[in-house]
Amino acid sequence: MRNGIRQGSSGMPAGLSGMRRFAVMLALACNLILPILLLLVMYGCGENPQAATYDSTATETAPATTATTATGYSTTTAPSGYMTFVINVHDTVHVNESADTILRLVDIFEKYAVRGDFYLTAPVTQRYAEQRPDVIARLRESNMTISYHVRPPNPLYAGFDQQLKALDDAALASTLCDYETYELDLATGGLNRDEPGGYSYVARMFGRDPVTASAPTSDRRIKTAAEIDFADLGAGMVVHYHEEGTDLKQPFVWSNGLLERPSDFSVTRWSDSTESKKEKDPFWWNMLTTPKASFYNPAAYLEKRMDEWQAGENGRPPFVTSLIHENNFYRSGAEGWTLSYFADTKKEEPLSPPFDLNAPDVSTPRSAEEQEAIWKAYEEMVAKAAAGMSVVTSEDIVDMVEAR
């Protein structure tokens, strides 16, 4: 780690070390030089064009020996599991509530000597810079991990990617690079080229490259081009699934130069056998003021799932993800910006520009009692994980894999 940015022994970003260097050599041996060169020409965006050459998988098992990551946090010999606390940050409507939530979360993580993984959009980062610079300073000076994601009307978001689908490969690569360089116009979905934005802006504001990025489009060509772009810009990990999906025997998979974020199971939502399966499992934070509050205690659920994993003789520690959005602590229902970009609160009908940034806010404030119940349960989960697991972020996982 140098100045908060992962570096390889050559001085280049660590994304080109270890498995990725091996993959490039393998590709050359398989006579894939021409496709690689084409990718470099078509998709290069940052200062690291070689990061765009690799799209393969790794067959390693999870680390089980004592190691100290570049961030200074140690992993124990054969830990019971690896726990990652992901906080998706995207509330551009209730900026002060969002900011206060981030500050309280950082305090909790530091209290238990662990790190959180904060996924920020460029627009919410801009709101913080304008209205709550204390949050920028707090995260920048902390040891938390910074990651990146997008929300509408970014064209990488499913339903807003029509303009990208019509582009040829070269124009697609150039356009994606622009969206990670300039400010996104929230009213039109276009770009304000007079202001910085995207991944590059978030990296600049926090003084380090966001480790994980995501391209939530359903179009495989766009997703591939975006991942190559993110790897080129300095990312090390990508999100392909949110809560679970990691292969037991092959937990580490690379996609276009980025490690797929592993997650064997999550402490996010679940249900009991008596509940209807017509709807998705409920999120635990929405159930703490119901008669089933004890069943939805996240610390108790984490303990239950860990016991089940260990009883199953799976052969390696699990990767566990706790995923929550910052607005879930203080608002219920859809996000405040939902009706600016969708015709419905389930986000099934994307709207077309121009977007009404003054559309009604369909979220509702949680009561003080409910908010404190969520905070209490969340801190209990952090404390349990800190006491019995190896709490890691995407940065730690990438470091562990590349160190092997």
Which residues share a beta bridge with 248? none
pLDDT score, position 277? 61
Short-list 115, 76, 53, 8, CA closest to 399: 8
pLDDT score, position 13? 38
pLDDT score, position 28? 32
Domain limits of the chain?
A: 15-403
pLDDT score, position 280? 83
How far separated are the first and last CA of the chain, in Å rounded? 16
pLDDT score, position 275? 62
From residue 110, give the alpha-carbon distance in Å to each of 3, 5, 55, 104. Answer: 20, 21, 36, 10
- The CA distance from 337 to 348, in Å, is 14
b/e 170-193 (16+ beta carbons within 10 angstroms → b): eebbebbbebbbbbbbbeebbbee
pLDDT score, position 77? 53
pLDDT score, position 274? 66
Average pLDDT of each block of 10 consecutive residues along the chain (404 residues)? Answer: 37 40 38 38 45 35 39 54 98 98 98 98 98 98 98 97 97 98 98 98 98 96 98 98 94 97 98 71 97 97 96 94 98 98 97 98 98 98 98 98 90
pLDDT score, position 313? 85
- The CA distance from 218 to 198, in Å, is 20
From residue 179, give the alpha-carbon distance in Å to each of 9, 15, 65. Answer: 31, 22, 41
- The CA distance from 265 to 27, in Å, is 33
pLDDT score, position 345? 97
Given 3.10.180.10, 3.30.1330.10, 3.40.50.2000, 3.20.20.370, which CATH number is that of 15-403?
3.20.20.370
